[in-house]
Each structure stands twice: as C-alpha cells, then as structure tokens.
Amino acid sequence: MKTIDIVVPCYNEEEVLPYFVKETNEVIATIPDYRFRYIFVDDGSKDKTLSVLKTLASRFSNVKYISFSRNFGKESAMYAGLKNCTADYVIVMDADLQHPPKMFPQMIEGIEEGNDCCALYRAKQTGESKIRQLVSKVFFSFQNNISDVKMPEGAVDYRIMSRKMVNAILELSEVQRFSKGIFCWVGFKTKWIEYQNVERTVGTTKWSLWGLFKYALDGITAFSVTPLRVIAGMGFVISLLAFIYIIITLVQTLIFGIDVEGYVTTLCSVLFLGGIIELSVGILGEYIGRIYNETKHRPIYIAAETNLDEEEDEFD
C-alpha cells in the first residue's frame, strides 16, 4: 500500500488541533487504499500546542511531531516536515482547517493521473478583509509578471507531492525560503484544482498586514532580479534626460549669457534625484540583505524534541 505523510506547520494552534485531527481522520477513513501519517511541526508555539500534540500522539500511533526551539516561521516549519517525511506522497496543509481535508480524494486522484503534484488555489477569498485581498491580488500579478515562477492567483500552500518532487524541493537549501515560489521553481507536472476558501473558525490568523507585505517582498526578491534592472534602466533614462538638458542649458548660456533664475528647476531636480537614489539604494539593500543572510549558512530550523523514530513503521 502506498503511504502518505501529512505535514502540518502549527503555531499556537492548541484550540484547533483536536478538531483538525478528528476531521482529517474522518476523511482518511474513507480512503482505505493508502496509509497515512501526520507530521506536525510545532513552530515554537507559546500556548499548549506541544502538549496537545503529545496527547494526540498517545491516542493515535500515526501522529508524529517535531517541536522547534523557538518560532522559526511557517516556511521553516514546512521545510522541517518535508525533510522528515519518508512516504510515497506528501501533503502539506495548514492546521486551522482553512485547507479542508475533504479535498484529499480529489488531490490523490489528481496525482495518480500521472502528475507529480496536485495543488490548490482559492476560488474566492471569502473570510479575508478587503485590504488583504488587495495585497494578495497585487502580489500575484506582480509576481507573475516579473519573476521566473508563475502561479495561479490565490495559490495556497495546500498540495500533494510525489517523493521525487519533495526531494527536489529539499535540494533548494536557501535559508530565506519562499515555498510558493520554490514549489513552482522546481517544475514537475502540477495539476491545479480549485477549492472554496473557508473562514478560520478557531484561533486567529498569525499574519499581520506588515508581515504579509514583507512576505510578498521576500517572494519577489527571491525569484526575480527585475527590480535591479528597473533601477539600472531608470538611471539610464535619467542620465539621458540630464545630458540633453545640459546641452540645452549650455547652448542657452553661450548665446544669451548666464541666467540666474532656475531656483524651482534646481530644487525639483535635486529632490527628485534624491528620492530616486534613496529608492535605488533601498532596493539594492534588500538584495544585499538577502545575500548577507544566506552567507551565514545558519540552519533553517532547530528542533528541540520529536517523537519521530526512523526505525519504526508509523503509518496507519
């Protein structure tokens, strides 16, 4: 029988986890041809997530967990889960039941059709604030237009992948991970299916608007150097205009003598150029920051404890 690992990053999810396991177990019971195992990654939660996981693990032998020494972020948690899975297929999903487990049969069917991956995208962003919807829309159109990776609007981190694809993902060892992009970057045949977004019923979202903005910026800088080209292009255009302006002024001065006016033009150009230079340095800084963080070669996560046992067959 084929095996499936379910990787679930959890940060302060004590309330929802019992429901998550209950609902997912109900779905799994309807898929008898596969054996499932959970790999929960407790991302340094400050609530009782770890003890809830331990209780679940004592009740269900296929519940495994890895607990981080601190909060490393969802990306690191997903990486830890993928690194520790051994199954033929791996499902990645959120703990908050916003990724409905009832999609499993369709996802498995999708991958069994000969694909390496079956991924989901949100049909409608119900349950999200207007401003978040806007950020998300701008992000997806920006990302798809300027970077190497293309993804449908509303793509979420809910997917099933083959062993082959998971191994490829693990080869990308960058510390600042942007999984949405990595999943697309590695290639492989992916089938996209639509699902209806569900509102989070228990717990709260872990993302602030600022966090979301930083995440979008990470995504763009991780997979595209277009912003760097844009500032180079901007420099070229401005230099060209400046050159033309210098010629005109020189000729004017030679013919009509020195004209002392021009306070407004001088002020405007100084301010404008100052702004452009600041912006360009900022963009450069973003990339340099990324290089700096990568060169430190720090581990992507540090596990404090786990009940994963490499010897044992833990699927159910």
CA distance 172 to 278: 32
Query: Least distance (Å) from ligand UDP to the CB of residue 98?
Result: 5
The stretch among 70-78, 227-235, 253-261, 263-271 that binds ligand UDP (CB under 6 A) is: 70-78
Strands laid side by side in the 34-42 sheet: 190-195, 117-122, 155-162, 89-92, 2-10, 34-42, 63-68, 303-306
Count of residues interacting with ligand UDP (CB under 6 A):
16
* Cα 180 from chain centroid (whole Å): 5
Q: Which amino acid is at 194?
A: E
The Cβ-side half-sphere exposure at 92, using a 13 Å CA radius, reads 30
Judged by CB, which is closer to ligand UDP: 48, or 163? 48
| Contacts to ligand UDP from residues 11-30, by CB under 6 A | 11, 13
How many Cβ atoms from other residues are within 10 Å of residue 292's Cβ? 10
Is 10 among the residues that bind ligand UDP (CB under 6 A)? yes
The stretch among 89-97, 151-159, 174-182, 286-294 that binds Mg ion (CB under 5 A) is: 89-97
> What phi, psi does 306 have (nearest 5°)?
-160, 160
Per this entry, what is the length of the chain?
Answer: 316
| Contacts to ligand UDP from residues 189-248, by CB under 6 A | 205-207
Judged by CB, which is closer to Mg ion: 205, or 280? 205
Among 5, 6, 9, 179, binds ligand UDP (CB under 6 A): 9
* Site of interaction with ligand UDP (CB under 6 A): 9-11, 13, 43, 71, 73-74, 77, 94-96, 98, 205-207
